[in-house]
Amino acid sequence: MKSFVATVLVALLFIVALIFGARNEQVVTISYFVAQGEYRLPVVLAVVFFAGFMLSWLVASYYIVKLKLALATTRKKLTAQTAKTPQGVDA
């Protein structure tokens, strides 16, 4: 259910960004360290939105994988500890 709500929120943000971009057709100047370029505002918004989404997805994936590995390690330790404990003895 959480992933569905998150997907709907991201889709709504994307739709709002598209509407905002469609209503603003100005050309903006982007200055880099060594150069500059002129781009339409919807293109800049789309690139920045996508870059932010990918960056946050990568960071979240890193922490999710880290937690899953820690959980797997803990389960192995628990299984090993359970196997050592005699069956008739209460802990």
Q: What are 30-84's pLDDT values in tens digits?
A: 898 888 999 988 888 788 888 998 999 999 999 999 999 999 999 999 999 888 8
- Structure tokens belonging to residue 19: 């509407």
At 37-47, the pLDDT tens digits run 999 888 887 88
Please, which pLDDT band fits residue 90 given cuts at 50, 70 and 90?
low
State the pLDDT at residue 22.
77
CB-count exposure of residue 41 (10 Å: 0-12, 13-18, 19+):
middle
Q: Which residues contact 28 (CB under 8 A, 6 or more apart)?
A: 38, 39, 40, 41, 44
At a CB cut-off of 8 Å and minimum separation 6, what does 46 contact?
Answer: 17, 21
E-strand spans in the chain?
A: 27-31, 36-40
